[in-house]
Structure 1
Amino acid sequence: MIRNYFKIAWRNLLKNNFYAAISIIGLTIGLGVGILILIWIQDELDYDKFFEDSGQIYRVNIDGKMGDNSFYAGYTPPPAGAALVDNFPEVESYTRIYRPNADVIESKTIDGQHLFNETDIYAVDPNFLEFLTYPLAKGDPKTCLQQANSIVITPQIAEKYFGKKDPMGEILYYGKDKQPLKVTGVLEDLTKLQATVKFDILMPVQNFDEVAYFNWSWVWLNMATYVKLTDQAAKDPDVLANLESKFPEMLKTQAASAFERIGQPYEQFQKNGNYWDIHLQPLNDIHLRSGEIVSAISDQGDIQNIYIFGLIAFFIIVLACVNFTNLATAQANKRCKEIGIRKVLGSQRGQLIRQFLAEAFLYTIISALFAVLLVAWILPFFNSLSGKTISFYSIFSNGIWLILLGLTVLTAFLAGIYPAFYLTAFKPITVLKGSVSSMKTGFLRNGLIVFQFVIAIVMVISTIVVFTQLRYTQQRNLGYDKENVLIINNTEKLDAGVESFRQEIAALPNVINATSSTGIFTKGSFGDFYVPQTTETDRPVAKDISLSSYLVDDHFIPTLNIDIEKGRGFDARFNDSLSVVINAAAAKQIGWENPIGQKIRYPGGNMEYYTVIGVVKDFHLEFLHSSILPFALFSKTSKSYDTGVSFITLKYISGDTKKLIATIENKWKNYQQVVPFEYSFLNDDLNAAYQSERQLASLFGLLTALSIFVACLGLFGLVAFTAQQRTKEIGIRKILGARVSGIVKLLSKDFLRLVIIALVVASPIAWLFMNHWLQDFAYRINIPWWAFVVAGILALGIALVTVSFQAIKAALANPVKSLRTE
């Protein structure tokens, strides 16, 4: 019987091949999008699940507040891990990651010297590869990081320095001191792993004196700490909650001496309204559920994108199912006679329902096969848009193929269920008399067309808003000059030659100015907290304030054209070693109406007082997602800080940029023959900061185009069917003198009216959706009214073209042939 169902379904497919093709194309696109989004979602959900005991591993985060500034970060002080293990039996072990500054790695082989700047170097505890089980191609995870002179590298680094030679046991030289390190392990290719933390090189943390130096500190937040809990603590939410409830009491004991040492008694710190709490975050939640948690080493996505694209994929599949349903019900009059005869000959309604569902399954199975081929073809393009490296073969792994099978069955059911039950409900006498009304099916088809275009228009408006917000972030005045700005990295490697090198560059004909600083926009800053004072009493006048900062020379402000609101910038004619320039946000938060001459005290080091000599207008450090925070510029002559990082930033005149870079590189080699010359353009760095938003916009654009195509495909089929049904009417109208334009209007107006209704329904939905999305940006656009106009014109235009193609074809047909059709 089942074989017979499918045989009849195949005959009907061949008989109605035009409408079958439209249905199959729509279902193919719907299922293809579903598969793409499905493997994308699976890729996102798989992060960190390859680690052994990943369900028991947690990252230690810190939630802090100083004055009016609060933060939540995936960092901890160095002693946090040991303190948790020592104080709580629920914590079995810990491991830590420290990211040092970029440095030079060198190898000496028979092929010559190979020397590069490496940025993805992580310093880790000896148990790191036992704790986080990154797969090793060579080496023992228990021993490869035990010795201080050991180093573990990726296959890419191995080939970079040693070619095809086995790197095990070879020597790499690290840093300006050329510390010899023996290769004791080679990792598998990490680019193929879904890990939130990826790197090129691992070194033992004991090589870095700053970590050991700050092992007393509970305010030096430069370590990422992971802990492994007992199985019971990890699985029982009550045990985990009870564990976290004990952390504040531990901090009072553990952090007290550290806060006392920096002049901030912990109890007083808390009484001032501040807090310093630690929390545990499941390893498997880090990638998608980190929200506002700051981390420079973790690849953190957003669970909201999973929901958004999952919903979009579902709706595109529904659009394809709507096409099938519309075309099936449109042909109700044809199929009703068939059903009536079958019923008269003894067919039961259940048999007929199974027949229609078999047709839907046949269409969907064919579409699913084509969808897999479509995915194979489009996947490279999809990867380039999404920034992924998803393999086509992932469809056949991790149970994806089972989900695909379920998706196919669900699609067939959604597409076929209404036609099956609706068409088999007619009484045979009514059908054979030819008195079946098309009112019910017409109302349903109109409703489904509106539904299709509501989805398409919402996506068009959303895409316009996303791209407009991206353009706004790129064009907004950031408070400094970002055009024609070149950043030279690693200038700390020039040692005492930094200033001479800067002066030589500044003297070049097409260089306007050049400045040296420990940080630059998008490249990070250092932060600490301070106590505002009054010049009269040297007593605190406000709560502690947290400041992000750079150490800069006297050329920084003029080079980047930062506006000074009050006072002055740094000047070589003055001794500014204990001076500070703050931004307007810092002055406002402290409450100073006239900040010039006021002081802030640094409660660490030698408890220095810094006098405010200037206030600059607020400028954005990196992203527009967050509001402008208090910021300070300290002079490079200050002895209170040593960040170990330096950049030279220069403003140049547009022209032969390649020649300028070549000239600067030659000058670099006069000062530093070992460290490679590296640079970037500030504009490029700022654009890179919004890579995820651009990927989101690109995916939105692709899915929007597909949704419009699917919607118009169904509309095309319906217009063709309508024209076919009204062939005789059109012929009579033409004989009676109707023009082509009139016939086109006759066939088009009802469909275009439905698109207008869809625009009215879609507009408030799109506004609510995008208004919610824009809340993630501290500096955002207002949703532009013209987005709705453009979406409406686009939808009407595409629908008009779609409808007109068939309408004109019908209107131009020979009326004599039209009248002979019946």
Structure 2
Amino acid sequence: MITTWFKIAWRTLTRHKIYSLINVLGLTLGICACLVIWLITQYEFSFDKFHPDSDRIYRITTAQQFVKGESPSLTPAVIPPLAEAVRTGIPGLATVAPYHILADATVNVPVKDAVSAAFPSQPVVAGPAYFSILPPVWLAGDARTALSAPFKVVLSETKARQYFGPLSPDQVLGRELVYNDSLHVQVAGIIKDWKGHTDFPFTEFISLSTADHGFLQRSLHLDQLQWKGVPFSSRVLLKLAKDVKREDVDAALTALFNARWGTGTMTVALQPLNRVHFTDYGNGTQMRTAHLPTLYALISIALFILILAVINYVNLATAQSLTRDKEVGIRKVLGSSRTSIVIQFLCETLVLTLLSVLLAALLVKPVLGLFQRFIPAAVSFDPFAVNTWLFLAGIALLTTLLAGLYPARFLSSYLPVITLKGAGAVRGSEKWWLRKGLIVFQFTISLLFIIGTLVIGRQIRFMLTKDLGFKSDAVVLFSTNESRDSLNRVKLLEEQIRQLPGVAGAARENMPPMGLDRGVFTIQYKALGEDKIPVAAVKADEHFIPFYQIRLLAGRNLLPSDTLKELVINESLARLLGFKKPAQALGQSLYTWNKFVPIVGVVADFHQASLHEPVKPMVIAAIACTDMAVRLDTKNMPAAHTRAILARIERRWKEFYPNTPFEYEFLDESLAQLYEKEQTTAWLMNIATGITIFISCIGLLGLTMFTAERRTREIGIRKVLGASVPDIVALLGKDFILLVIIALVIASPIAWLFMQQWLQDFAYRIPVGWDIFLVAGMAILGITFLTIGFQSLKAALANPVKSLRTE
């Protein structure tokens, strides 16, 4: 019986090739979208799930409000003494593991009487407790003792191969590494690389007891007891004891922190391990994180696309029911039950769905490759994995039931007495209204995506083209990682780079005018009382303002200085201080860094952060700084010219830092990262819009073809009686055009509300004007007319003699 059902299903589908192809196309797109988005979400939600007792592992995070009125800035860093205070002062903890990140380190491998070239490195300073919370597989060494003694290091197998080549893990034990030309350590253990995805991908672990020695203590700022503008490198992982509630530990942590270090602007809290991957720390960490709302949006888009494909199937299946009524009547007369007829039609849907699943699986890898810019590199498709088979089986079953159950029940409900009499004209009217409703739903969803795409695209173009108040093109940024003691070397490097051919200018700074990094001073102005005013701040040399072509409104530029002697402020701060004109601020003094500092200039406002935030009151201070910005003279030059200039800069760099790699970034690329989330959203909307329009249009094409086919004789009679081609086209298309207009009326207010809500996240935003809805409406009407126009024109031009020959 089952074999017979599938044979009949296959014959029926091959008999109606065009409608089967339309359904397969729609379902393939819907299932492919679901499969790709499932791969992405599965990957993102898999981080750190493989650790034992992961539900009891937490990390302490710090939130600090730098500027009054701004949202607190979240970071995984904590003040160094917090770990010991937590270990001794909070009950209910199974393990507390402090660890410290030594950023931008270099490591050399001594070889006989020489050393290897420097490798870039980011080691973690940790104790045995770290490995008790996140236990690895040990290839050599002892987990209990490897990090107990000072001047020991544990390496991952990948790092061991990088530093020591093909030596076995046991042969690597006892070998020496030198960090930053100062710290000599011995390898005490080799661990296996993590197999799962993790936000703790550290590969080098220096023993915590080594941190008591001068080099590490200075580099990690472990003697820092209070926040003084130095980013902490300390972190704390902890594991709760069984049956201990997170809320109790969180409350105890807050009470302990407030009692010892409470500042009113800084708070600490526990962060579950499974939330680490979904938390945006700004510049607090270099780890890639996922945006949870974007993942939820992806899942919603996949479901919408699948629903639209299912609606296509339901529409065409119920429309085709008008041609299958006699088939159902004959089956019932010959003894078929309603259940067997339902199963027969579900088999047809299942055959279509399985074919669509197969095609979708074949499309996954090309789709992942096509959109690799937006999809994490580690996302891959294994068609033979058990979870892949389970997902495909589940999506096939779900799609079959959603798409096939209603048409099957509807078709099996026909009474043979009525259908075999040929009295089927009345049957379709009720279901025509259902099809109308489904078409309106389809185009409403498509219009929501079109309007959203237009608004998001305009906002992104606005952000990328808006005048930021400074010039950012062809600017290269790099850091020397020098201390104030080596400032003369940095100055000499700056001067030599400025003289290179192809270099238009250079400046020293602690950060560019705009970016992810944020600096903060607190100032006091006598006329406003004793209240401290937090302001954005940039430390820079005297070249900074002319280098970025920031407009000077009053006063002069900063004079060369390595200590704080004078300030330049922006016009927002001048207004905040009560000056109606910029020139009135000149000569006034602000109290900061324990002294009064005069204002010597006022510059026009420029954006310090993304357009999500308004321009903040700001100071520019001439203080020793060791990061550098270089402007390249690349106007109307080929890319090879840029590479040649960078090569010259790197040669100068190597003269001063022979063992340190030259790492740089372009400011324009850095600023584009500020809108990475919005650009990803725009990409999603573009893809979703294209797919939803395509699915809606192929469904509309199928319905138009079916309508034209059913009304062939009517069209022939109308033409014989004098109807013109435009009359016939209008006859077939007017109902569909009307449905699209209804969808536009429904979608416009919904889209307006959603887009207004989305735009509230921007301090500087575009208006949502009527023209956006007009463009969206004209676009969808044009697409609809093109979709139904060809088939309608074909029917209108057909020879009526052929259609009326059998009458």
Q: SS at 1:127's partner residue? A: helix
Q: Is the 8 A contact 1:94 1:225 kept in 2?
A: no
| 1:520 to 2:533 alignment | no
What amino acid maps onto 1:225 in structure 2? R
**% same residue:** 34
The answer to whether 1:657 aligns with 2:642 is: yes
Task: Choose from 751, 757, 767 the match for 1:782.
Answer: 767
Q: State the shift of 1:412 in Å.
A: 1.1
Which deviates more, 329-338 or 415-424?
A: 415-424
- In structure 1, which of residues 105, 114, 119 is the aligned counterpart of residue 107 of structure 2? 105
Residue 312 of structure 2 corresponds to residue 336 of structure 1? no
Question: Which secondary structure does the structure 2 equivalent of 1:12 belong to?
Answer: helix
Question: Which residue is 2:628 aligned to?
Answer: 647
In the other structure, the counterpart of 1:217 is: 226
Cα deviation, residue 108, structure 1: 5.8
Aligned match of 1:716: 701
Shift of 1:326: 0.8
Residue of structure 1 equivalent to 2:93: 91
Equivalent-residue separation in structure 1 for 2:609 and 2:66 (angstroms): 21
2:789 pairs with 1:804: yes
Question: 2:277 corresponds to which residue?
Answer: 287
Aligned residue type for 2:85? A
Q: Match of 2:84? A: 82
Change (3 A) 1:810 1:66: closer
Superimposed CA distance per residue, residues 520-561 of structure 1 (whole angstroms, 9 cap, x where no aligned partner): 2567657455351428xxxx8243344454331111111011
Residue equivalent to 2:36: 36
Alignment of 1:226 with 2:261, yes or no, is no
Displacement after TM superposition at 1:444 (Å): 1.4
Alpha-carbon distance in 2 for matches of 1:784, 1:115: 60
Map 1:324-723 → 2, pairs under 5 A: 324-393=313-382, 396-397=385-386, 399-436=387-424, 437=426, 438-490=428-480, 492=482, 496-508=488-500, 510-521=502-513, 525=517, 527=519, 530-534=522-526, 541-572=529-560, 577-586=564-573, 595-601=585-591, 607-637=594-624, 645-650=626-631, 652=633, 654=635, 655=637, 656-723=641-708
What's the secondary structure of 1:246's corresponding residue?
helix
Task: Provide, for residues 148-169 of structure 1, a one-character-per-residue CA deviation record: whole Å limited to 9, x for no partner.
Answer: 5444556665565555555834
1:650 match: secondary structure:
strand
Q: Does residue 73 of the first structure (1) align with residue 74 of the second (2)?
A: yes
CA distance in structure 1 between the aligned counterparts of 2:614 and 2:139, rounded to whole angstroms: 45
Q: C-alpha offsets along residues 251-277 of structure 1, whole Å, 9 cap, x if unaligned?
A: 34322xxxxxxxxxx6xx6xxxx4432
1:770 aligns to what?
A: 755
Report the Cα distance in structure 2 between the residues aligned to 1:362 and 1:514, rounded to whole angstroms.
67
1:488/1:216 CA distance change after superposition, 3 Å: closer
How far, CA to CA, are the matches of 2:575 and 2:664 in structure 1? 36
Whether the 8 Å contact between 1:26 and 1:323 is mirrored in structure 2 is: yes
Q: CA deviation at 1:21?
A: 2.0
Change (3 A) 1:99 1:566: farther
Q: How far 1:296 moved relative to its partner?
A: 2.0
The one-letter code sitting in structure 1 at the alignment partner of 2:313 is F
Contact map agreement 1:102 1:117 (CA 8 A) in 2 = no
Match runs of 1:734-773 below 5 Å: 734-736=719-721, 738-773=723-758
Secondary structure of 1:578's aligned partner? coil
1:813: which partner in 2? 798
Q: Is the 8 A contact 1:51 1:134 kept in 2?
A: no
Q: Can you list the C-alpha shifts for 1:381-418, whole angstroms capped at 9, x where unaligned? A: 24443234212127835x45434322222211111122
Deviations along 1:442-487, whole A, 9 cap, x unmatched? 2111211111111122112222323322222222222211112222
**CA–CA distance in structure 1, aligned partners of residues 798 and 45 of structure 2:** 55
Q: Residues 233, 294 of structure 1: CA spacing in aligned structure 2 closer, same or farther, 3 A cutoff?
A: farther
Residue type matched to 1:727 in 2? T
How far did residue 314 of structure 1 move? 0.8
Aligned residues: 784
Residue 117 of structure 2 corresponds to 115
User: Residues 547 and 147 (structure 1 numbering): CA distance in 2 closer, same or farther, change over 3 Å?
Assistant: farther
Is the 2:102–2:123 contact (alpha carbons within 8 Å) kept by the matching residues of 1? yes
Give the structure-2-normalised TM-score.
0.87
CA contact (8 A) 1:600 1:609 kept: yes
The alpha-carbon deviation at position 42 of structure 1 amounts to 1.6
Q: Is the 8 A contact 2:469 2:550 kept in 1?
A: yes
Q: For 1:629 and 1:394, how far apart are their aligned partners in 2? A: 52
The CA deviation at 1:147 is: 4.8
**Mapped contact 2:107–2:121 kept (Cα < 8 A):** no
Residue 321 of structure 1, CA deviation: 0.8
Amino acid at match of 2:29: I
Following superposition, the deviation at residue 424 of structure 1 comes to: 2.5
Q: In 1, Cα distance between the equivalents of 2:238 and 2:548?
A: 47
How big is each residue's C-alpha offset from its partner over 1:487-529, in whole Å with a ceiling of 9 and x where there is no partner? Answer: 2432739753222222233334654432112222567657455
CA distance in structure 2 between the partners assigned to 1:485 and 1:178 by the alignment: 33
**Distance (Å, rounded) in 1 between the aligned partners of 2:188 and 2:514:** 34
> Aligned partner of 2:340: which letter?
Q
Q: How many Å separate the matches in 2 of 1:465 and 1:157?
A: 47
Equivalent position of 1:48 in the other structure: 48
SS in 2 for 1:721: helix
Distance verdict in 2 for CA 1:755–1:76, change over 3 Å: same
* Contiguous gaps of at least 5 residues in structure 2: none
Normalised by the length of structure 1, the TM-score is 0.86
C-alpha contact (below 8 Å) 2:521/2:537 kept by paired residues: no
How far did residue 439 of structure 1 move? 1.3
Deviations for 1:309-347, whole angstroms, at most 9, x for unmatched residues?
111111111111111111111112211112222333343
Q: Give the aligned CA root-mean-square deviation in angstroms.
A: 3.4
- Tell me if 1:195 matches 2:198: yes
Write the deviation string for residues 78-122 of structure 1: whole angstroms up to 9, x where unpaired.
Answer: 112221221111233323444444243344669997535637554
The structural deviation recorded for 1:741 is 4.2
> Equivalents in 2 of 1:767, 1:136: separation in Å?
57
Residues of 2 paired with 1:151 and 1:692: CA distance? 38
